[in-house]
Chains A and B, each alone.
Chain A
Amino acid sequence: MRLPLRTFRGQLLLVFVPVLALAQLTTWYLVGRFNEHEARHQIDVSLQQAAHSFRRVVADRNAHLRTGARSAARDHQIRQLVSGDDPATLASALQSLRGTTDSSVVVILDPAGKVVASAGRGAPEPTLAPRLITLAEADDSPRPSAAGYGNFGGVLHSVVLVPVQAGSEVIAWLLIGFRIDREFASDLKRLTGSDLLFIGENGDALAGTLPDSAHAPIAAALRTTRAHSALRQITINGGASLAAFRPLLTGKDQIATLALVYSLDEKLAPSRLAGRYLALVTVGALVVAAAIALAFARSLARPIERLAAHTERIGAGDYETRVAVDRADELGRLAGAMNAMSAGLAERDRVRDLLDKNVSPEVAARLLRDGATLGGEEREVTVLFADLRGFTTLSERLTPPELLALLNRYLDRMSGAIEAHGGVIDKFIGDAIMALFGAPVTQGDAPARAIAAALAMETALAALNAELAAEGRPPLAIGVGINTARVVAGNMGSSRRLNYSVIGDGVNVAARLQALTRVADYRTNIILSAATRAAAGPAGAASRPLGTVAVKGRSEPVEIFAVDAGNVTGNNPPSQTDTPFLS
C-alpha cells in the first residue's frame, strides 16, 4: 500500500473531501447564523406586533366602555341619582350598567374623586381616581375623558373616566374598567402568538399566560432593563426566550409593565430540524464525494498505470505490444500517441535492420547519426575492386538458383574478409565488389587495411575453393585492384533513394587495376597503385613492382605493384615493356 499522498486517489481525496467539508460546514454555519438572526428578527417583529395588538385591543375596549359610560353619564335618572342621596339605588344602577357594557367595574366618584357608589369587585387603589381626574380635567377635547390602568382589589384593570355633567357642571365622574387577567392574556396570546405577563409596580406577577416558574426570570430581566424597547434574552425552564417590555401608564405614572415573551427555541425548532437534515446531507455528500473521488481517481490511475507499464515495456524494446485505453479524453489521446510511438519505433527498427543489410554498418550508423543528406566531401579513400574471373562461363553451366547460391556464398565470404579489416562494402555490381577503406570513417591505415583485406580475400577464396572442390565444383578465381586517391564521398542519388558512395577518377583506376590482374604475365591476383603502395607502409613496400601501364583516361602511364600471398616481398618485377592497355 502506497502512502495516501503519493497516489492520485489520496491526493484527490485530500483535496476534494476537505474542500467539500469546508464548504458544507460554512454553509451550515452561515445558514444557522442566518436562521438565528432571522428568528430573532421575527420574534422582535412579533413582540412589537403583540405590543401593538395589546394597545389596540385595550384602546378598542376602552372606546367601547367610554361610549357606554358617556351614554350612562347623560342619563337623566343617573344624573338625578348621582345628585341625590340614594347610594344603594345608584349602586344597583351601576350594576345594570356593568352588565350592559360588559365591564368589570363601574364606579361613581364625586367631583373630588371620592367613591360614591360602585359595582364590581374591589375598591380602586387610592391614587387611581385623582390621577384620572387630573388627566380628564387636562383634556380639552370636546368630550373630555381619561384612560389608564389601575388596580382594583389587587387586580389590574384598564379603566376609563368620563364626567357626569349637568349643563357645564361636572357633578360626578363615572369610572368604568375591565380586568386584565389570565383570560384576557390568553385571548391576546391566541391573537398574537406571544406570551404575556403583567408585572406590578413592585415586580410581582399580576396575570399572564406563562407558568409561575417563568415569572422570576422575567421579573429579574425587567429589573435590569433600562430601555423598554430593548429585546432581552431570558432563560425559562432551561429554554431560551426573548422578552420585550412595555410600560402601562396612567398619564405619566407607570402602573404596571407588560412583558411580552416569545420562545426562541420554539422559533428556531424548524431551522434546527433543517440544520440536522443539512448535517445528514453533509455527511452523505461527503461520503458520495469521497466515493466519486475514489472512482474518478481509479478511472484515471488505472489507464495511467497501464500507460506507465507500457512505457516501461517500450523502454525494454518491446515495440509490438499495443496499450488498450478505450477513452475519448486526454488519456485516450495519450494512449493513441503511445501506440503510434510504438509503431514508429518498430518502423524505425525495421528500417534500421534493412539499412544494416543494404548498406554497411558504418554507413548505416553514420546515416542514423548524421541523417541522410545529399552533399559530399573530398577525402582520401582507398578503393578496393574485386571481380570473379570466368563468372560468365560459370553462369552458363549452372541453373539460376545454383548460380545465385554460389554467388551469394562467394560474396558473403568476401564481405566477411573485407569487413574483418574495417572495409566498407560500397556496392555489389553483379559478381564484382566495390569496397571502401577510410570512408565514411576515416582510417589512418586504410591502404594497409585494404592490402590486408585483399590477402584475406585470397585466403577466404582458397577456403571456399576447397569446399567447392569437395562438392565437385570448379574453383573460383578473383582479381583485386586497389587504389588510393582523393575522391568525392557522400550520399548520392535522388531525394527518395540515396547511396553512400564515392566518385572520382581514383575509383576508375581501382577498377582498371583489378582488370589488369587478368594479365597472366603479372602472375598476381592483387594489383596496387603507386599511391596505395606509398601510403601502405611496410605492406606496400613488400609489393612487387610490375612496371607502368597506360590507363584509359590518364595521360601518363601508371606505376603498378603486385601483392603476392605468402611473399609480399622480392617477387620478380613485371616486364617493363609489357604495358597492356586497359580498356
Chain B
Amino acid sequence: MTDTILRFEDVQKAFFGVTVLEGITFDVERGSVVGLVGENGAGKSTLMNILGGVVPLDAGQMLLDGAVHAPRDPKDADRAGIAFIHQELNLFTNLTIAENFFISDFPRRGGLPFLDRGQIRTRAQQFLAMVDLDVSPDVRVERLTPGERQLVEVAKALSVDARILIFDEPTTSLTARETERLFEIIDRLHQAGKTIIYISHILRDVMRLADSIAVLRDGALVVHGPRAEFTIHSMIAAMVGRDIEQLYPDRTSAPGAEVALEVRQLSKSGICHLIDMTLHKGEVLGIFGLMGSGRSELAQIIFGLDDFDEGEILVDGQPVKELSPTRNIRAGMAFVTENRREEGLMMQATVSDNLALAALPAFSTRFVRRVRSSTLATAVRETVDVLSIKVNDAFRSEAKGLSGGNQQKVVLGKWLMTKPSILIIDEPTRGVDVGAKFEIYEIIDRIAAGGTAVLFISSELEELLGLCDRILVMGQGEVLGSFDRAQFDQEVILRAAFREHAA
C-alpha cells in the first residue's frame, strides 16, 4: 500500500466561463518527485495555484495527509507546509536576501514590534547554506544574477519547512551549471523525504528528476504513472494528443546575398571584445551562448539600448554613428527581448492593440495621421488567423489572459505586421511548450522568407540547429566560432561554447 500525502479529487476550475480544469484526480506519494508536464494552457499552473492558495477551486477537493486542504490565500498554504517556487521570481529587489526570507513574518525582539536583525542574519545564513549559495544575507537582491536569485527563492521555500515543494519552471533563467546545482539540491531534498512537484517544459529534466510523471492536456489528466513507463517521445505524444514527427519546420527560403547588418570589431569594456558579424537579408543567424556569454548584451548594443567603446556597426552598408532604439526602429530594426512579460507586451491592452502597435504608422492616413481602423482590423484578424493565436476575441481579450506561447506569438506577430528589415529575437521559446514552439519557428521562418534578416539568440542549441542558416558561438563576450548549416554538429558547437577548442 502506498503512502499518499496529497490527493486531488475531481478538482474543477473555470475562469470567466472557460473551463481550465475538468475533474483532475490523482494521488501524490509521500517523498516522491512528481513531474507535471503539459502544453501551455493545459492547466498545470492553475492546478498548482489552487494547491498553493493563489486561486480557489470551483468544485472537488484536495486532501493533504487525509485532511481537507482548502487554503484561502498563499499564507494559508504556507502554513499547511506547501512551498511554491514560482516561475517568475517573487523577490523584492530593493531588499536584502535576509529581508526577503522573512518579509511576511519577521522574527521580533521579544514582544516588541522591532526586527531581530541578528536572528534574521543567522537564520538566513543557514538557509543560504542549504542551497550552497555563498553570498552575504545582507546583499540586496538587485545585485544578484538570475541564477543566484532562483537559488534564493528555493532557500526561501526551504525556510518555511515545507512538506511539499512546487517548482514551476525553475530553470528557465539558469545557466547549465546553476541548473545542475539546483538538481543536486532537489536530489538532496528528495533524499530528506520531501515531496516535490516539478513542472517543466524541458522533458529530459523531468526524466532526470521525477519518480512519476503526470501529463495534463486541455485541463484534463491524460496519464499518471511511474517514470519507467515514459519516453520523451511518449510524453510529447500524450501532451499534444498526437505524434509529433517534426520538431522544426523546413526552411522555406534561402538567405540572400545582400548584407543587412554588419558589426566590425565591436568592443565594450567588461561586456564584449572584438565582435565581428555579418547578417544577410533573409538569413536566420543564430547566436548560441551559455547564460552570461554576452549574447543578450550584444543584442542590446546593436539595438542601441547600450553604448559601446570601439568598433563599428553598419546597417544596410551605412555606418551608424549614434545608435538609438528610435532611430533603429525607423531604420526598420525590431527587437523581441527575452523578457516578454515586462518589455514585449502591454499586458492590460487587448491582443489587437498589441498586434497593431508597431504597425500603426503604416495604417495611418497621409496628413492627419488618423488610423484607418477598418483596414487595420482586417490585418489584425489575418495575423491572428495566420499565427493561430488562441484567443476568444482578439479585440476584447487582454494580452495577460493568454498562455505564454500565445503571448510570444502576439509579440512576433506584431513584427510580422511591420515587416522589419532586421529582427533580433532573444530566447523566443523560453517557457513555451512543444506545440507552440513549432508554431513560433514557423513564424520566424515566414518572417525570414519575407526578406527580413533575423538574429536569433538562444541558449537551446537544438532549436538553432533546427532553424538557422548559420550559428555564431559566443562566450565571455567573444565570438568563439562560426558554423554554416553544412557544418552543424552539436558536439563541435557545444565544445566551442565551452572553449574546448584550440585557442
Same complex for A and B? Answer: no
